[in-house]
Structure 1
Amino acid sequence: MSESSPPRTAPARTPLADAPQGGALLRSLTGLLARWLPGQRWFAGKGRPMGGLTLVAATELLPCTAQGTTPGLLHLLIRTRAEEGDPAQAPPSVDCYQVLLGVRPALPPALGPALVGRPTEGPLRGRAVYEALHDPRLAGLLLERLRTPGRIGALRFTPAPGASVPAGLPPRVLTGEQSNSSVVYGDAHILKLFRRVSPGVNPDLELPLALAEAGSDRVPAPAAWFEAHVQEPPPDGDRSPAERAPEPLTLGVLTPFLGGSVDGWQLALQSLGHRTDFTSASHSLGRATAEVHTALAGALPTDVLRRPQLEQTANGMVERLTEATAAVPALRPYGSGLRRAYEALGAFARRGGTCPVQRLHGDLHLGQVLLTPDPRGRGSHWSVIDFEGEPARPLTDRRRPGPPVRDVAGMLRSFDYAACQHRTGGPWVEEWSRANRAAYCRGYAEASGNDPLAQRELLLAYETDKAVYEVLYEARHRPAWLHVPMAAIRRLAQGAD
């Protein structure tokens, strides 16, 4: 154990969270956090007025009220609630966020951009409160906590058995992420911090652990993780807190950092920019996807969707199309053509068709796969990352088994997205997309024994559903990109491959 490592058994008492200090702490930070949270990339409530903040848990990882220049480190779980709106509309959203705050009497100039504010009351009155991940000293402490098993207040740190995590690795925060935050330590490990958290094991911990146990080398195995164990108040009419067994909240996962790797999105854009063949890479990516699916099916429960479930699935797709068409006028001319894909799925179910379901990646695209050169010069290796699923969906939905063809459809849509980034466009770009989509499916079929094209009704329905989702997303968040899924919508409405 290094000199900077925390003790294996740390005191559970967290003074700032103790009554009456917990209420004073929240009061002192409420105004600062209410202004700061909506400006963070990972905050999901943008555009909605905040109705209130509630302190779920506060844990001092380093004392925050000590004298001297040593920084404090405060871990918070904060529940936010949107302002009450029209009662006829959906109820206001309630989210729980993980926040790590550094506390110093005076903030060094280098940390100026990380400032959250200075409380004017409470136990942190007059101190500089700032985003802790940008302080190398505090980000380094977080790694040391992960290296040593134990519990501190509401937090439990768990290194994976047999994992080797070196001490003293220099941290750097990655930029550009949307829903989470990541810190790279040296060139050895990367810590992914989940910002919006829910009770239950996050799939980005659960599935890589299951794959590691199954011996898969397609997914980096977790080296350590940490969770929060908190007692949430029960809903009205529910059992008392003493009778409920709360699930932990997964807060962060430390995994090996794949240095020298390039994600599939960048590789695809390079291929398009230089007009080079990419089908070999797409074929091997299809094989990698199938290997991950096969390993997950062997490690975790599976099931089969039959007529009632498939008809319900088709109906759900129709409902999503109806909602998207109402919101995006550009979709309306293609509504009847798109519905044919869902009608074909219903007909497939009535003919006795079935569909296997299992645990999936859930948000598979070219940005979620990394190609790493073999250090021995024997080619390259695809790895699959980010098993969190679509962060906007509830955690229970993301942990639910689904058809493997859903992941396949997501990757096929990603090839289309890459092709649409090419400035010149034209027949060559369209052929690039078709060729790589076909190569990916061939690789998947060879490795799994199940050809995604063999049950065309399933693949077409899921690809159409994905394209409709993309239209709605782009219209709301990136209108300049709306033409990308609309190109697929026109093709899919015509029933083209």
Structure 2
Amino acid sequence: MLTELLTGWITHQRWFAGKGRPIDDLTVDSDVELSPRLRHLIISVHQSGARDRYQLLLGSEAPEWARFKPAHIGGGYYDAAYDADLTAALLEGMAADRDLGALRFRHLDGVEIDTSKRSLVLGAEQSNTSLVYGDTYICKLFRRLTAGVNPELEIVTALARRDGTHIAQPYGWIETDLDGETTTLAMTQQFLSNANDGWALALASVRDLYGSLEPSASDAGGDFSSEAYRLGVTTATVHQEMAAAFPTDVIESQEVKRMVEEFRRRLTVAVAEVPALGEHAHAAEEAYQRVSDVAGEMPVQRVHGDYHLGQVMRTTNDWIILDFEGEPGQPIAERRALSSPLRDVAGMLRSFDYAARHLLADHSNADELRPRAVEWAELNRSSFLAGYSAGGGHLRAEDAVLLRALELDKAAYEVVYESRNRPTWLHIPMAAFKIGH
């Protein structure tokens, strides 16, 4: 009966990846009791010959409020992630380094966890579920499971052990074994309750500029360039910390050329899906060819992998970088692979373009404001790069060629994404192929 209830329930969850396809079978692979009314389940969902695994905190003897979605499962069962009376078991397990069945609860050496905090589910997440305990901790449950240690846990714990200052302090995690590999189920970090999201701060600056009588982005009241500079310094610092904490390498010119061929392949796919990109694709092709022409050795290291303004928070003292998971949906091996740190730099440069332009999508004065958007993006892109260099980031003159290619590769990905999900935003990545940076 439980598997039937879960089959009907799981398809309606935001984090379920198999929407639109029928479920052929659902099985419970692991069932561990955490407390008298709380069980931890690992579920396999079979669809079209493929299997995805998910985790669920299953509550029983559902309280009255659990009759309402999204917690309600049926038959007296509910998603206990929404029950603060039961989720205390997660903090308690991590604080005690407890082993329960196949689950291992762990905490970072030298930290203490206050188990008295009560949890609240953060809204709007698509692939995970985050529980905020008071104003102190945030525990991220990885709903869809992939065998292996989560890259974010790996990176933030390594940086914390080296006294890294630009990360949210990690406290603990939950793990199990899947396919013979230690696999991260959840991780708990410092909750930055008084910090401001980088994307929100950038948009506030753009709105100030659009509403200002000042002719220049640097003269408008919401100038963001000093923050962009500090963010560049922080980015360079964290790149150096990751290079010290993990192995680094240098790839030869032939491997660089193979990377460029992958750029070309992705561009071809993007043009096939969005034919309008075709008339501007020459800009990317020329940029890729320039990388091939000057290809030499390229240093590579662990990187963030999905770096943009939504992944950084401004505290009263400095910038903090979050979500070192890498590109969502990619295999863990790819997310852990060494890459040029300029990949992160390119991601942030693209994010400045997004911040400048996305408010133009339905703006009545879009044509009049577009030059201001370009100016704002250019000012903050250059400030970020200046900060990155000042912070010790490697930006040689010849790196401009690689950086431009990485930006356009990212923009090609964005073109496909926006065409599928947000057509009114398609103009943002398309612009990257029409103007030079």
Asked if Structure 1 and Structure 2 have the same fold, meaning a TM-score greater than 0.5 normalized by the shorter chain, the answer is: yes
Question: Is 1:409 aligned to 2:346, yes or no?
Answer: yes
Q: 2-side partners of 1:94 and 1:453: how far apart?
A: 47
1:196 CA drift (Å) = 1.5
Answering whether residue 305 of structure 2 is matched by residue 362 of structure 1, we say yes
Q: Counterpart of 2:130 in 1: which secondary structure?
A: strand
Supply the distance in 1 between the matched residues of 2:396 and 2:239 (Cα, whole angstroms): 13
Match of 1:198 in 2: 146
> Could you tell which deviates more after superposition, 340-349 or 399-408?
340-349
Q: 1:372 aligns with which of 315, 324, 328?
A: 315
The reply on whether 1:481 has 2:425 as its aligned counterpart is yes
| Residue of structure 2 equivalent to 1:237 | none
Superposed CA deviations along residues 265-312 of structure 1, whole A, max 9, x for unmatched, are 000001111122110000000000000000000111001121111011
Question: Which of the residues 304, 312, 334 maps onto 2:250?
Answer: 304
CA distance in 1, matches of 2:133, 2:63: 23
Counterpart residue number, 1:94: 51
Equivalent residue letter for 2:46? R
Deviation at 1:336, TM superposition (A): 2.7
User: What is the distance in 1 between the residues matched to 2:35 and 2:342?
Assistant: 47
Of the candidates 1, 13, 27, which is equivalent to residue 54 of structure 1? 27
Cα distance between partner residues in 2 of 1:366 and 1:409: 12
Q: How much does 1:76 deviate?
A: 1.2
Change (3 A) 1:176 1:216: same
Amino acid at match of 1:209: T
Q: What is the CA–CA distance in structure 2 between the aligned matches of 1:111 and 1:188, rounded to whole Å?
A: 29
For 2:276 and 2:86, the matched residues in 1 are separated by: 49
Please state whether the residue corresponding to 1:412 is helix, strand or coil: helix
Partner Cα distance (1:52, 1:344) in 2: 50
2:283 touches 2:433 (CA, 8 Å); kept in 1? no
Q: Evaluate the alpha carbon distance shift between residue 249 and residue 48 of structure 1 in structure 2; reply closer, same or farther with a 3 A threshold.
A: same
Map Cα deviations across residues 3-54 of structure 1 (whole Å, 9 max, x no partner).
xxxxxxxxxxxxxxxxxxxxxxxxx233322222222222222233333223
Tell me the equivalent position of 1:179: 127
> Would you say the 8 A contact 1:282–1:437 is kept in 2?
yes
Unaligned segments of structure 2, at least 5 residues = 210-221
2:218 is equivalent to residue 253 of structure 1: no
Higher alpha-carbon Rg = 1
CA drift at 1:110: 5.7
Q: Given that residues 354 and 428 in structure 2 are in contact (C-alpha distance below 8 angstroms), is that contact kept between their aligned partners in structure 1?
A: yes
2:141/2:186 contact within 8 Å kept? yes
* Structure 1 residues 359-390: Cα deviation after superposition (integer angstroms, max 9, x where no partner): 011101001000001xxxxxx31000111111
8 Å Cα contact 1:148-1:158 kept in structure 2: yes
Question: How far off is 1:115 after superposition?
Answer: 4.1
SS of 1:192's equivalent in the other structure is: strand
Equivalent residues, number: 418
The AA in structure 2 aligned to 1:41 is: R
* Cα separation, 2, equivalents of 1:152 and 1:407: 39
What's the secondary structure of 2:206's corresponding residue?
helix
Partner of 1:322: 268
1:383 correspondence with 2:329: no
**Counterpart of 1:167?**
115
Which letter maps to 1:182? S
Residue equivalent to 2:60: 103
Q: TM-score, normalised by structure 2?
A: 0.92
Tell me if 1:152 matches 2:86: no
How far 1:486 moved relative to its partner?
Answer: 1.5
- How many angstroms does 1:427 deviate by? 1.1
| Cα displacement (A) at 1:444 | 0.4
Which of 379, 386, 399 in structure 2 is aligned with 1:442?
A: 386
The share of aligned pairs that are identical, in percent, is 44
1:243 is aligned to none
- Is 1:271 matched up with 2:217? no
Q: CA deviation at 1:412?
A: 0.4
Q: Would the alpha carbon gap of residues 247 and 452 (structure 1) be closer, same or farther in structure 2, given more than 3 Å must change?
A: farther
1:490 match: secondary structure: coil
Q: 1:284 to 1:143 in 2, by over 3 A?
A: same
What is the distance in 1 between the residues matched to 2:135 and 2:391?
A: 32
Deviation at 1:452, TM superposition (A): 6.3
Aligned partner of 1:18 in structure 2 is: none
What is the Cα-based RMSD across aligned positions, in Å?
1.6
Runs (4+) of structure 1 exceeding 6 A deviation are none
Q: Structure 1 residue 409: deviation in Å?
A: 0.4
Deviation at 1:459, TM superposition (A): 0.3
Aligned to 1:77: 42
Whether the aligned pair in 2 keeps the contact of 1:365 and 1:410 (CA below 8 Å) is yes
Q: Supply the distance in 2 between the matched residues of 1:51 and 1:302 (Cα, whole angstroms).
A: 44
Structure 1: 5+ residue runs without aligned partners? Answer: 1-27, 64-71, 85-92, 119-126, 233-245, 374-379
Q: State the distance in 2 between where 1:430 and 1:43 align.
A: 38
Find the aligned partners of 1:113 and 1:31 in 2 and give their Cα distance: 17
